[in-house]
Structure 1
Amino acid sequence: MSGLLEQALARYAGLPAGERFHVHARASSAPLLAVVSRLPPGTVADIGCGHGLLSALMALAVPERRVLGVDLDARKVRWAQQALAGLPNVTLSVGSVEQLAQAHPGTLDAVVVCDVLYLLPDDQWPGFLKAVRGLLRPGGRFLLKEVEGDGSWKHAKALAQEWVMVSLLGRTKASGGMVLKPRVDGVRLLRDAGFEVREVVGLGEGYTTPHLLYDAEAR
């Protein structure tokens, strides 16, 4: 485990066991450090921040960076606020990407969305991505980490796992989605929303989930 990840996880030591387990499981199952390594400095939004682990990693990696995390799940945001209270460069709140875009129109240097889109109905994806574009200054970076719909056994396993988390355990909130798209669809949607796709990177090696990262720039 990297030193940065250890620092971030240590901040959750005071949370109840169930919440700590969720955060540690997230740390071991998603390539969060690979996402953080691509971020520029400046002001960054973490949309769908959940317990705030990615926000913590971004803030600890570059102490001069300002991180704005929002999530619709008030319970998770409360735990995140408790865990990250000692990080002065992190602000966490209950809210949506649209609300954040109203408060910070066209001013952010980067936005990260990690494992959020597939929980939404796919007809909401274009509006969501356009709201993200509304947050960014021209040339601002957008890192979108999703699960690739590639028809593999990892694809099937990811859907089954999310069904357990959303429908059986109620640990994750969804809005009728759980849609996994192939990368060609992701690239098209990003371009339609006003982004230039710089790179599409498969991050599934070493994981049982087909992680995929879109590295894009606001036009």
Structure 2
Amino acid sequence: MSELLEQALLRYDGLPVAERFHVHARAFSAPLLAMTARTPVGAVADIGCGHGLLSALLALEDPGRTVHGVDPDPRKVAWARRALAGQPNVRIEEGTVEQMLARGASGRFDAAVVCDVLYLLPESKWSGFLSTVRGLLKPGGRLLLKEMEGDGSWKHRKALAQEWVMVSLLGRTKASGGMTVKPRAEMSRDLEAAGLTVREVVDLGQGYTTPHVLYVAEHRAS
């Protein structure tokens, strides 16, 4: 385990066993360190932050980052706030990206990170969601979007089955009619259509049983 990840996980030692288990499972099933390493220094929005593990990694990796995490699940927000209460460069808020924009966050962020959120939304809402995230970014600001790839592989099928258990059976993750995943070429087109220029598409699935793909895109000024 990396020292950075160990430091972040220590923040969760005071949480109940079930919540600690969820955070540890997240730590070893998603390439959060790879996302952290590619995220610019500055003001960062963590959209769909959940328990706040990625927010913690971003804040600990470089104190030059100020991280604003937002999530619609009040239970996860409460746990994140409790775990990260002593981290001065992290703020966790209950709500949605649309509410952030409505509260005056337009053009405020140097970067936004979105990790395993888009597939939980109905596909009809993807365009609006991506455009709203773009609205949070300064011109030239970066979006780091991590999703599983819809490539038809056994990893793809396994990941969807696993998420069905988490969403429908256990209720550990909130969804609003989504569970859609796309090939990387199609996902890249969606980002471009939302006014973002795709700079890099990174395959992060090696060593995992989920086909992780990271899209690094830049706010394209109108």
TM-score if structure 2 supplies the norm length? 0.98
Q: Structure 1: 5+ residue runs without aligned partners?
A: none
Task: Give the corresponding residue for 1:97.
Answer: 97
Q: How does 1:24-173 map to 2 (within 5 A)?
A: 24-102=24-102, 103-173=104-174
Q: Could you give the per-residue CA deviations for residues 102-121 of structure 1, whole angstroms, max 9, x where no partner exists?
A: 22111210000000000001
Q: Which amino acid aligns with 2:54?
A: L
Q: Which moved more, 1:97-106 or 1:153-162?
A: 97-106
The AA in structure 2 aligned to 1:67 is V
SS at match of 2:38: coil
Instruction: Tell me which residue corresponds to 1:175.
Output: 176
Q: Tell me, in whole angstroms, the C-alpha distance in 2 between the residues paired with 1:184 and 1:122.
A: 16
Which residue of 2 is the match for residue 7 of structure 1? 7
Q: For 1:185 and 1:95, locate their aligned partners in 2 and report how far apart those are by CA, in whole Å.
A: 28
Q: In 2, distance between residues paired with 1:34 and 1:47?
A: 17
Helix, strand or coil: the match of 1:213? strand
- Counterpart AA for 1:31: P
Q: Distance in 1 between matches of 2:57 and 2:119?
A: 23
Task: State the distance in 1 between where 2:109 and 2:16 align.
Answer: 34
The amino acid that maps onto 1:111 is A
Q: Within 2, Cα distance between the matches of 1:61 and 1:104?
A: 24
SS state of the match for residue 79, structure 1? helix
| Secondary structure at the counterpart of residue 46 of structure 2 | strand
Distance in 1 (CA, whole Å) between partners of 2:133 and 2:67 is: 15
> Quick one: which amino acid aligns to residue 130 of structure 2?
L
- Could you report, residue by residue, the CA deviation over 1:122-174 in whole angstroms, capped at 9, with x for unpaired residues? 01000000000100011000000000000000000000000000011000000
2:20 is equivalent to residue 20 of structure 1: yes
| Mapping of residues 184-199 of structure 1, within 5 Å | 184-199=185-200
- The one-letter amino acid paired with 2:100 is L
Q: How many residues align?
A: 219
Deviation at 1:63, TM superposition (A): 1.0
SS at match of 2:87: coil
How far apart are the structure 2 equivalents of 1:180 and 1:217?
22
Aligned mates of 1:142, 1:197 — CA distance in 2: 9
Q: Distance in 2 between matches of 1:123 and 1:165?
A: 22
SS in 2 for 1:76: helix
Extract unaligned runs of 5+ from structure 2. none
Residues in 1 aligned to 2:13 and 2:109: alpha-carbon distance in whole angstroms: 31
Amino acid at match of 1:109: D
- Partners of 1:64 and 1:197 in 2: how far apart? 25
> How many Å apart are 1:184 and its aligned residue?
1.1
SS of the equivalent of 1:37 reads helix
Partner Cα distance (1:13, 1:170) in 2: 23
Give 1:64 deviation, angstroms: 2.1
| Separation (CA, whole Å) in 2 of partners of 1:60 and 1:201 | 23
Cα distance in 1, alignment partners of residues 89 and 126 from structure 2: 29
